[in-house]
Structure 1
Amino acid sequence: MWLVGPRRGSLGTGTSGPDLEASHVRTDASQNRARILDAARELYAAKGLDVTMRAVARRAGLGVATLYRHFPDREALVVAAFEHELADCDRLSEEALADPDPWRALRGVVDHVVRAPTGNWAFRAESLDEVKTGEARARAMTNITELVRRAQESGDLRADFSPSDLALLVQASDSLSATSPAAARRLVAYLLQSFSARAAPLPAPGPVSVLGADFG
């Protein structure tokens, strides 16, 4: 005798009918949102924040109408992409803070940011709405400051190093990253050596904005 499973709409343990269709819709929407954010981050890193919504939709392989269903305007997309970028930074910095070697942890974060294809545009995103991105900025800066403090307390990082110097490092390598990633990594390696506690004293830091917060 053939065993026949529950028919569509009948009682059974599987998901069927409207519930299954709704699940597919939610999955598609989630995947589309992720594609949009990935495309936006790539374009912001390569071309800055003036990229059009149409360009983002084209990079994501989606229609403009689909993009607007997720993000009603350009500002909403930029803020969401910024927060997504900082969420990645949060995960990276939390892993680094768990590393028992503070100097290795700090160098690892810097190396990752320089190597990542979308890893540095957030450091240039100074025009974002402070109210909408303030929490993400504060969380990122807390982790960065703690990484710096640990490396200084271990005696590996020079005492006159400022968290704003990380932004200077990223900005210095930024122009090279698009054309020669290898050259950018080499420049960063040179700069990291100068951050060692055994290097010569530095001049006082000048004013610079890191994730929208002013240091100097």
Structure 2
Amino acid sequence: METLRPLPRTLLRDRAYAAIRDAIVAGEIEPGAVVRDADLAERLGLSRAPVREAFARLVDEGLLESKPQSYTRVTPLVAADVRDAAAVVGAMHELVTRVAVPRLRDADLEEMRAANDRFATAVHTGDVDEALRADDELHDVLVRVSGNRAAAATVARYTPLIRRLERQRFGEGGSCRSAGLHERLIEACADGDTDGAVRITADIWRTLADLADPD
């Protein structure tokens, strides 16, 4: 999937950020690669200013590192960083699950089931992009229904650090998440079992933290 392509001149800073972030997560820009604002600006069809702003945000979020007057490069995959990110994101998902379960409607549950069906199919066929997209869609239902914007922002900030490792594991022939765990989560949500749904959510994110230490 080619993510670095010319962008419409709307919301340029945010669009540049999203395109570069997605390219890093997808491995199109590899860990350790030096990035230059002029090069990426040309590839995206932008001026250098929005790309520089995107760089600053990506440095803050841990996907880039910068040494003034020297280089800006993609950060390496560091196990401790993934564990820390998974702990934070997992805690946010537990929080939103506890709030969301009593509020879920039938339409929300159907949306989660459909996302999990797409996830299971994508894992089976080895479609990494679709698997991660479907996984996001499933969990985003709970984030959205909770209405917690602070939790949503935290999840959006730290999930890309985890996604990089998930993509690597998929590329090695592994599966980072379980459709079976998702099914249990959906069943608990449908039963109104808030505590059970929170426990399963914790299990899901614990498996992601464990990816950082597969041995």
Q: With structure 2 as the length reference, what TM-score do the two structures score? A: 0.32
Q: Which has the larger radius of gyration?
A: 1
Greater helix fraction, Structure 1 or Structure 2: 2
Q: Which has the higher contact order (CA 8 A, sep 6+)?
A: 2
Q: With structure 1 as the length reference, what TM-score do the two structures score? A: 0.32
